[in-house]
Amino acid sequence: MSAVFNGEGSLVVSASLDDTIRIWDLKTGKCIRMLIGHTYFVLSAAFNTDGSLIVSSGLDYTIRIWDAYSSVCLMVLRGHTGPVDSAVFNNDGSLIVSASDNANIRIWDT
């Protein structure tokens, strides 16, 4: 599982074995949003550079792109043939790189 700061350092996004992604406010220490959509353990979650989007990946073989403010899943990417261990945006948010546990990586054009 993973936890990653947003660009400002005021929020953290975490991946969880309860199939959710949570956004935490560091000032209060409270969960302010929960993203639900993966159908099995979530292994990674990360913000894009400006903190408006989140990419997540999991044991359900999918990568999901979320609106960080509304918690809406905007897109589900499928193509890996095994659990997706990690996914991250590039610096300008135009690409996502993902890695699966069957030794494959994919680059996705967002």
User: Would you state the pLDDT for residue 66?
Assistant: 98
Integer Cα distance of 44 and 84 in angstroms: 8
User: Would you state the pLDDT for residue 68?
Assistant: 96
User: Would you state the pLDDT for residue 6?
Assistant: 81
Integer Cα distance of 81 and 71 in angstroms: 26
Please write the tens of the pLDDT for every residue from 61-103. Answer: 999 999 999 999 999 999 999 999 999 999 999 999 999 988 8
**Mean of per-residue pLDDT scores for the chain:** 94
User: Would you state the pLDDT for residue 23?
Assistant: 97
Residue 110 and residue 96 in contact, taking contact as beta carbons nearer than 8 Å: yes
